[in-house]
Every structure is written in structure tokens, then in C-alpha cells.
Amino acid sequence: MTTHATAAPGTGAGHRHLGWALVLICVAQLMVVLDSTIANIALPFIQKDLHIAQANLQWIVTGYALAFGGLLLLGGRLGDLYGRRRIFMLGLVIFAVASALGGLAQNEAMLLGSRGLQGLGAAIASPTALALITTTFPAGPQRSRAFSVYAAMSGAGAAVGLILGGWLTGLTPDLFGHVVDGWRLTFLINVPIGLIAALAAPYVLAESESHPGELDLPGAVTGTLGLIGIVFGLSRAGQQQYGWGSSSTLVPLVLGIVLLAVFIQLERRVEHPLMPFRILTSRTRGTAFVAMMIVPAAMFAMFFFLSLFVQNVMGYSPLRTGVAFLPFSFGIVIAATISSKMIAKVDPRFIAGTGTILAGIALFGFSRLSVDVSPAHLLSLAQSGQHLGESVNYWSQIFPFIVLMSLGMGLTFVPMTLAAVHGVDHRDSGIGSGVLNTMQQVGGALGLATLSTVAVHFGQDKAATIAAGLHASGGQLPPATLKLLTQIGAFPTGATHAFLTGAFMIWTASVIVWIFLDVKHQELATDGAPEGVTVA
């Protein structure tokens, strides 16, 4: 069997630059994904500079993920209707402009607004990036290798974001006569990358056919607002001043559920739905979508809580924290490479099923992290200036599980990505990849909100116990110091419970994969050829 690259209708360059096309797509995807975590290490610095309340801090992460996930279906449909290269470039430009606004933010509202706009740009660019791989590379080894690189970038992007964020946060350069806070660079670095990628796209990417049709804007609005309502309600549920019985919790949750119900009804009736239900009719794709909603939920939480644990409990600097996650980047690339080779001989169920088991074990390992939070120890720390978690050994208690998590994610992402786009018609490839990315981002946002609620619940119980002990034995300390010690002492308890909950979440995904994912590896190798490629 031979393949002959020809120009797709309406294209100029055809697919003559497959290598450069993959580089460009993966650089753009890496930029989009790393922005989910690049601000994690900078959170304490952003909070201090912009005076953001602790309860609102998670919105720097979830706000981006929600806008990203909630609008991905719209982004995928735009690519299908108006040309994937054109929409890909538009998304990159919006992302670059939003990043500039975030880097220049002077208050909480401006920063959170820029994060939402970044999410919009990412939602437009990301599904078209995956669709461009599907429609550019022939089925078989070439597409599997391309997906392995793409999956590695998607998975490693989270760890790269932490490393890059740690390095940039520690910098205070003098730009144009003004000293710039390092956390601002975590946003500004995207500006040149996004603009250069947008300018390079016409030279290495072929344009797809346009299929102008009605845009389902009501679906986009109801779906996005419904997700925001649910995540907002979940975040309020974990806060002591609100709780599950508060109207501030119940009203957003109920409105979110109602809006999602309206979204489903709209999608069933409109002529050009944002999410065609035919995409979900395949058992293989349905299983992949569900699994890829749960798995990133646990991974997002791992990065969020572990980066805070390493900084606030173990006392690592921002750069050292980023370097601590470096093994994740190497591990996921190695595992993704291995799984891309295995997929030609082994069914996806066995590869992804094994990967999810390993990732769950890693999260369980993080849940066993233990530090002394007795009032006497906390008081001695206040006097000595030491950190609470200095007794935690990185190499024996954290490093092995970071490696295990990376291997599990690498083994999971490649077969699940291939299964999620298996059998999707070229005309729907943008919306198919949009559903996959939606599941990942929405799962991440919902997972972080849920596990944050778990962490806050158990952390508050522990804080009450610690506060009572500190008041009994350390009343001579200033109230601000007592409050800080209480918060520091309560965090490990909340984080370890979040890790444990995440482990069971990902094991649930493993059960789903083992039971319901029945596609054979031979079927993945016979998916249709991409646009512009004839198979003889």
C-alpha cells in the first residue's frame, strides 16, 4: 500500500511539510495546555500582588479550564465550517492578546477576565489542532506517531508549565525601565509564541474545505454557563461560610443543571447542533470520552495540590518546585512513545487499562504523605523559622510517584485519543476532537472543584483541632501568626484526602476502560485516510 500526498481542495501547500506541520501544531498545543498549570506556582505571588481572596484563588485555574472546556465544541464546529487553518490562526491570535492582558493585569477582575479570554482562544485553537492531525496524517504508523507526539505534548505540557512557571516566577527583569514581577512573565511569554505560530501556519498547514452552516450559539451559551454554574456551586460547597445548604451553593448548582438540560434539548432539535449526538453513538468513542473526562480530573488536582504542598509545606522555591516535576515530562514522553508502538500490536483496553491502574497507585502514594502538625511542633516552627515538611524526603516519598503518574498518563493518553477519534467522519473531525478536548478540560475543572471541596472540608476539621491546641499552648503569639500556623497545619490533611479521592476517581475510569473499551488494534489501523491523501 502506498500513499500519495495531494493538495486538499482549496489548499495551496497541500501536505508537503508534515514534519513542520506537526511541530507547529504541537507547539501551539503545548502553549495551550501548559497554561492550565503555568500559573500554579505563581499563585501565592499573584494572590499577594493583586490582593485576591483565598476562596477566589482557584478561579485562576478553573476559570481558564471552564472557558476552555465550555467553548471547545464551538471551536471545533467553527473549524469544520469555516476552515481549520483559518480558525486555528484566529485562536492563536486571541490567545496571544489575552495573555498580554493577563501579564498587564492590575486587579483581580482584569486577571480573571484575561484568563477567560485565554480559554476562548485555546478553545478555538485546540480542537482544530487535533483535527489537523487527523486530516493531515495517514491512518496507521504515521498517524499513531503523530498522535504519540501530540499526546506527549498534551500530557507533558502540564509539567512543563510548572517548570517554566517556577523559573519565570523567580525572575524580576527590568523591561523598558520598569521592574516586572516574575508571575507576569508566565502570561507574557505566550505573546510572541502565539503570534509567530499564527504567522507560520499558512506556510506549513493546508486549509480544509469550508462547510458554511448555522452556528449553534444558544447551545454554546447554555452549555458554557451550565458548566460554570456547577463548578461555582461545587467551589462554594467546600467553603465554611457557605456549605452545601447555602443558597449560594444550591442556586448555581440547580441553574447549572437546568442549563445543561436545556443544552441537551437544544442539541436534539436544532438543524446544525454544536454537539451532534451521532458523535456519541459509538461505544468506543463514548468510553474514551468518559475515561478522558475522569483521568485529567485527577491529574489536574495532582498538579494543583502537589505544587502547593512542595512550596508551602516543604519550603521549595518556585524554580525548585518546577524542577521537582521535571521527571513527569520525561516519563510521559517515554510512555507515550512506548504506547504508540504497542498500539499496532496490543488492543487499547490493555494499554490504557494498565495506565489508569498505575496512575491511581501514584495518587494513592501521594495520599500517604505525612507531616507532624501537632501544636507543639507548629509552635517550634514559628520560633525556628523552619518549614513544616522538611522531614518529607523528595526522592523516596514524591519522586517515585511522579514517575509512576507520568508513565500511567503516557500509557493512557495515546490509545484513548486514538479511540476517541476512531470512525469519525472527516467532516466531523473538528467537532469530534472538540468533544475529546471538552471532556478533558471540563473534567479537569470539575475534578479540581470537587477535590478542592474535599480538601477544604477535611482541612477545616483539622484546622479547628489545631486552633484549639494552639490557643491552649501558644496564646502569646500574635493572632495573625496563630491563623497562619493553623492554615499551614491544616493544608496537608486536606491535600492528602484530595489525593485519595483522586485515586478512586481514576480507578473508576480504569474499570470503565476494562469493561467497555472493546475496539481492536487492527480497527484503529484501518481508519480512513486524511483529507488530501489518496490510498492506492
Which DSSP string corresponds to 195-260?
A: HHHHHHHHHH-PPPPP------HHHHHHHHHHHHHHHHHHHHHTSTTT-TTSHHHHHHHHHHHHHH
Structural domain span for residue 223: 217-269
- Condensed to tens digits (0 to 9), the pLDDT of residues 110-134 reads 999 999 999 999 888 887 887 788 7
CATH of the domain at 465: 1.20.1250.20
Domain boundary among 269, 298, 313: 269
Please check whether residue 272 is in contact with residue 216, taking contact to mean a CB–CB distance below 8 angstroms: yes
Q: Letter for the amino acid at 170?
A: G
Mean pLDDT of 470-486: 74
Alpha-carbon distance of 87 to 125, in angstroms, equals: 7
pLDDT tier for residue 427 given thresholds of 50, 70 and 90: low
Q: 332: which residues sit within 8 A by CB, 6+ positions away? A: 152, 155, 156, 159, 406, 407, 409, 410, 413
Residue 361 resides in a domain = yes
Whether 471 shows a pLDDT value over 60: the answer reads yes
194-227 per-position pLDDT tens digit: 999 999 988 888 776 666 666 788 888 898 788 7
In a domain, 340, yes or no: yes
Same domain, 227 and 137: no
Q: Give, in degrees to the nearest 5, the angle at Cα 317 between 315 and 321.
A: 95
Residue type, 308: L
- Going by pLDDT thresholds of 50, 70 and 90, the confidence category of residue 534 is very low
**Are 141 and 341 a contacting pair, CB within 8 Å?**
no
Question: Are residues 368 and 242 part of one domain?
Answer: no
Choose the final residue of a domain: 235, 269, 303: 269
Helix (H, G, I), strand (E, B) or coil at 534: strand
- pTM to 2 decimal places: 0.80
- Residue 529 located in a structural domain: no
- What average pLDDT does range 507-528 have in this prediction? 85
Q: Which of 269, 285, 302 is the last residue of a domain?
A: 269
Of 477, 439, 187, 429, nearest to 300 by C-alpha is 439
Specify the amino acid at residue 387: H
510 has a pLDDT exceeding 70:
yes
Q: What does the alpha-carbon distance between residue 473 and residue 139 come to, in Å, rounded to a whole number?
A: 68
297: its cell numbers: 480530573
Domain co-membership, 225 together with 212: no
Flag whether pLDDT at 42 surpasses 70.
yes
Asked whether 155 and 332 are in contact (CB, 8 A), the reply is: yes
Q: Please indicate, yes or no, whether residues 253 and 303 belong to a single structural domain of this protein.
A: no
Claim to verify: residue 417 and residue 290 sit in the same structural domain: yes
Parallel/antiparallel/unpaired status of strands 3-5 and 533-535? antiparallel
**Pairwise CA distance, residues 126 & 431, whole Å:** 11
For residue 347, give the DSSP letter: -
357 and 292, same domain (yes or no) = yes
Do 431 and 346 lie in a common domain? yes
SS (H, E, C) 65-118: HHHHHHHHHHHHHHHHHHCHHHHHHHHHHHHHHHHHHHHCCCCHHHHHHHHHHH
* Residue predicted with more confidence, 437 or 314: 314
How many domains are contained in the chain?
Answer: 2
Does 292 lie in the same domain as 264?
no
Same domain? For 251 and 399 the reply is: no
Q: Is residue 48 part of a domain?
A: yes
pLDDT score recorded for residue 417: 84
- Asked, for residue 528, whether it belongs to a domain, the answer is no
241 and 295 co-located in one domain? no
Average pLDDT on 137-163 reads: 76
- Residue 246 predicted with pLDDT over 60: yes
Instruction: Judge if 299 and 212 occupy the same domain.
Output: yes
Any domain includes 114: yes
- Is residue 104, in this structure, part of any structural domain at all? yes
Chain segment 361-400, per-residue pLDDT in tens: 999 999 999 998 888 888 888 777 778 888 899 999 999 9
Could you tell me if 228 and 101 lie in one domain? Answer: no
List the end-to-end C-alpha distance of the chain, in Å, as a whole number: 6
* Secondary structure (DSSP) of 277-312: GGGG--HHHHHHHHHHHHHHHHHHHHHHHHHHIIII
b/e 345-375 (16+ beta carbons within 10 angstroms → b): eebbbbbbbbbbbbbbbbbbbbbebebebeb
Q: What is the mean pLDDT of the chain?
A: 82
Q: What is the 8-class DSSP label of residue 426? A: G
Beta strands 174-175 and 533-535: pairing type? unpaired
Residue 98 covered by a domain:
yes
